[in-house]
Structure 1
Amino acid sequence: MSDVPTPFHIGVRVYYEDTDATGVVYHANYLRYFERARTEWLEAQGLGHQSLADAYGIVFTLADLSIRFRRPARLDDRLSVSAAVAERTRARVVFEQEITRDGALLIQGQFTVACVKVADFRPCRLPEALIKESR
């Protein structure tokens, strides 16, 4: 068995609204695609943002990000967006993410999300359901 976690994937289609005047995805929209993949990853764990807020009084906030643009995505492209947990501590999760088209790497990103209390946005522990041994 590999020590590298299997990435979670979602499909995304590039719509006209996602592009600039040249038909290329506007750079800020890649952040939306990455966020969708992390949200769907969370749902696949049996949790959701609203259920975490309701049950535990917590939310996730983006604490840090790094993106490397390699190739553009264009109007009507079918993309695959991945999310893999690279590191997990008691109060944060670091995701390694990629956007590909037909297997070709377009964008790479690393995103750190912190667990915070809804009431005061102070850091707090991840729920037990999300605390697993890091590989």
Structure 2
Amino acid sequence: MEHKIDFRIYYEDTDAGGVVYHARYLALAERARTEAIRAQGQAASDLLADYGLAFVVRHAAMDYRAPLRLDDIVCVTTRMTELGAASCRLVQDFHRVGADEAGADCGTLDVRLACIRAGDGRAARFPPRWRDLLRALVA
């Protein structure tokens, strides 16, 4: 399964030339991951409230292919490729909506998340309910 969500590119997302600043892709990806989890029936904040656990980014690698610009609509597609006991790996693709096929593919983020105890930052296994939720996102 994959989750798709659209975002408009605002002035605050861009540099002086109207091109999306490279770090903003990470913020858009974070929003997309949060909404992918919400679409499965839980909010990411529930993991903290119910179990004292949180997601943290352990690794992120971005491959930029074409720029996003002011007022573009970008579709972020999120799919999980690996699910471990206390970590997961997702791939997130960025596509300009309405672009021709040659210019639509703007980039891909390969991100690994870890589940940690918020109190001490140590790795922790996903609770069974959350493993089931995350398993639904596995491509």
Give the TM-score normalised by structure 2.
0.88
How far apart are residue 127 of structure 1 and its match?
1.9
Structure 2 partner of 1:60:
55
C-alpha separation between the residues in 2 aligned to 1:33 and 1:56? 26
Letter in 1 for 2:116: V
Q: Which residue of 2 aligns with 1:11?
A: 6
> Any runs of at least 4 consecutive aligned residues in structure 1 with deviations exceeding 4 A, and if so which?
132-135
What residue is the counterpart of 1:75 in the other structure?
A: 70
The CA distance in 2 between the partners of 1:108 and 1:75, in whole Å, is 19
Q: 2:108 corresponds to which letter in structure 1?
A: Q
More helix by share: 2
In structure 2, how many angstroms separate the alpha carbons of the residues matched to 1:10 and 1:95?
15
Identity %: 37
Higher mean alpha-carbon deviation, 6-15 vs 40-49, is at 40-49
User: What corresponds to 1:3 in structure 2?
Assistant: none
Q: For 1:15-54, what per-residue CA distance to the aligned partner results, in whole angstroms no more than 9, with x for missing partners? A: 0111111110011101000000100011112222221111
Q: TM-score, normalised by structure 1?
A: 0.91
RMSD: 1.4
- Number of aligned residue pairs: 130
Unaligned runs of 5+ in 2: none
Deviation at 1:97, TM superposition (A): 0.6
